[in-house]
Amino acid sequence: MTTKTPLLISAAALLAATLAACGSSPTNTSTSPPKSGPVSGGTLNVGINSDFVTLSPAMSSALIDRQAFINIFDPLLKLSPTMKVEPNLITHWNITNGGTTYTLYLRHGVKFQDGTPFNAAAVLYNWHWEMNPANASPRRSNLALVSSVAAPNSYEVVVTLKSPFAAFLSILAGRTGMISSPTAMKKWGSAYGMHPVGTGPFSFVQWIKNDHMILKRNPHYWQKGKPYLSKIVYTPITSPVQEYNALVSGQVNIIDGVPYQDVSSLSSNSSLRSAQTAGLGYVDMELNTTVTPLNNVHNREAINYAINRQALNKLLYFGHATPAYSQFSPASWAYNPNLKVPFSDTLAKQQLAKAGNPKGFSFNLLGSNSPATVQEMQAIQSELGKVGIKVNIQPVDFTTLLTDAIHGNYQADLLGWSGRADPDQNSYAFDTTKGTFNDPRYSNPQVDSLLLKAREATSQTTRKQYYNEAATIVLHQAPYIFLEYTPVIQAWSPNVHGFKVYPDGLMRFKNVWK
Partner 1 sequence: MAAMFSETVQTVGVSNRERAVRRFLKNRLAVVGLVVILLFVALAIFAPLIAPYSPLKANFSHAFRAPTASHWLGTDELGRDVLSRVIWGARGSLISGLLIVALGVSVGVPLGLIAGYFGGIIDDLLMRLVDAALAFPGLVLALAMAWILGPSLGHAIIAIGVVTIPQFARITRGQVLEVKSREYVEAARCVGASPIRIMLRHILLNAATPIIVVATLNIGAAILSVAGLSFLGLGPPPPAPTWGSMVQSGSQYLTLAPWISLFPGLAIFMVVLGFNTLGDGLRDVFDPHN
Partner 2 sequence: MGDGLVAVFIVRRLINLIPVALLVLIVTFSLIHVAPGNPAYTILGEQASPTAVRLLDQKMGLDHPLIVQFGTYVVSVLHGNLGTSLLDGQSVTSLIVTRLPVTLELSILAVVLSLVIALPTGILAAYRPNTWIDSVSRLLALLGAAIPNFWLGLLLVYVFAVTLRWAPALGWVPINVSVFGNLGHLIMPTIVLALPLAAITSRVLRGELLEVMHRIYIQVARAKGVKEWGVVMRHGVRNALIPVVTVIGLQVGGLLGGVVITESIFSLPGMGQLVVNAIFNRDYPVLQGSVLFMALVVLLANLAVDLIYAWVDPRIRYN
By CB under 8 A, name the binding residues for partner 1: 239-241, 259, 261-262, 308, 311-312, 314-315, 369, 371-372, 374-375, 377-379, 381-382, 392-395
Minimum Å gap between C-beta 381 and partner 1 is 7
- Which is closer to partner 1, CB of 178 or CB of 377? 377
Which residues touch 203 (CB under 8 Å, ≥6 apart)? 72, 113, 197, 215, 216, 217, 218
Residue 311 interacts with which of partner 1, partner 2, none, CB < 5 to 8 Å by class: partner 1
235 binds partner 2 (CB under 8 A): yes
Residue 101 interacts with which of partner 1, partner 2, none, CB < 5 to 8 Å by class: none
- Which is closer to partner 2, CB of 239 or CB of 336? 239
Which residues touch 130 (CB under 8 Å, ≥6 apart)? 58, 137, 139, 140, 143, 176
Minimum Å gap between C-beta 363 and partner 1 is 14
Name residue 96's beta-bridge partners: 101
246 binds partner 2 (CB under 8 A): yes
- Which is closer to partner 1, CB of 369 or CB of 418? 369
Q: Mask of contacts with partner 2, 354-393, x by CB under 8 A?
A: ---------------x------------------------
How far the first Cα of the chain sits from its last, in Å, is: 23
Q: What is the DSSP letter of 75?
A: B
400 in Cβ contact with 369 (< 8 Å): no
DSSP E strand stretches across 293-335: 322-323
Minimum Å gap between C-beta 451 and partner 1 is 35
Residue 382 interacts with which of partner 2, partner 1, none, CB < 5 to 8 Å by class: partner 1
272 in Cβ contact with 491 (< 8 Å): yes
Dihedral angle sign, alpha carbons of residues 436, 68, 71, 136: negative
Which among 92-100, 208-216, 324-332, 488-496 is the span making contact with partner 2, rule CB under 8 A?
A: 208-216
Q: Mask of contacts with partner 2, 408-447, x by CB under 8 A?
A: -x--------------------------------------
Which among 95-103, 191-199, 312-320, 337-345 is the span making contact with partner 2, rule CB under 8 A?
A: 191-199
The span from the CA of 235 to the CA of 232, in Å, is 10
SS3 200: coil
Q: What is the side-by-side strand order in the sheet with 146-153?
A: 90-96, 101-106, 156-161, 146-153
- Which is closer to partner 1, CB of 375 or CB of 460? 375
Minimum Å gap between C-beta 466 and partner 1 is 37
Strands 390-396 and 254-255: unpaired
- Which is closer to partner 2, CB of 5 or CB of 461? 5
SS3 3: coil
- Which is closer to partner 1, CB of 106 or CB of 489? 489
Minimum Å gap between C-beta 410 and partner 2 is 8
Determine what percent of the chain falls in helix, strand and coil, rounding each to the nearest 5. Answer: 35, 20, 45
Residues 154, 269, 400, 472: which binds partner 2 (CB under 8 A)? 400
211 binds partner 2 (CB under 8 A): yes
Residue 210 interacts with which of partner 1, partner 2, none, CB < 5 to 8 Å by class: partner 2
194 binds partner 2 (CB under 8 A): yes
Which among 79-87, 124-132, 204-212, 277-285 is the span making contact with partner 2, rule CB under 8 A?
A: 204-212
18 in Cβ contact with 35 (< 8 Å): yes
63 in Cβ contact with 500 (< 8 Å): no
What is the SS3 string spanning 137-194?
CHHHHCCCCEEEEEEEECCEEEEEECCCCCCHHHHCCCHHHECCCHHHHHHHHHHHHH
Residues 15, 158, 248, 315: which binds partner 2 (CB under 8 A)? 248
Q: Which amino acid is at 216?
A: K
420 in Cβ contact with 426 (< 8 Å): yes
Which among 71-79, 149-157, 235-243, 461-469 is the span making contact with partner 2, rule CB under 8 A?
A: 235-243
Which residues touch 223 (CB under 8 Å, ≥6 apart)? 201, 510
Site for partner 2 in 46-65 (CB under 8 A): 54
242 binds partner 2 (CB under 8 A): yes
210 binds partner 2 (CB under 8 A): yes
27 binds partner 2 (CB under 8 A): no
Q: Which amino acid is at 250?
A: G
- Which is closer to partner 2, CB of 50 or CB of 101? 50
10 — phi, psi (to 5°)? -65, -35
271 in Cβ contact with 17 (< 8 Å): no
Residue 495 interacts with which of partner 2, partner 1, none, CB < 5 to 8 Å by class: none
The span from the CA of 463 to the CA of 334, in Å, is 8
- Which is closer to partner 2, CB of 246 or CB of 447? 246
Strands 85-87 and 77-79: antiparallel
Minimum Å gap between C-beta 242 and partner 2 is 5
290 binds partner 2 (CB under 8 A): no
Cα dist from 266 to 98, 260, 321, 403, whole Å: 50, 10, 16, 37
Residue 251 interacts with which of partner 1, partner 2, none, CB < 5 to 8 Å by class: partner 2
399 binds partner 2 (CB under 8 A): yes
Q: What is the binding site for partner 2 (CB under 8 A)?
A: 3-4, 54, 190-191, 193-194, 208-211, 235, 237-239, 242, 245-246, 248-249, 251, 369, 397-400, 403-404, 407, 409
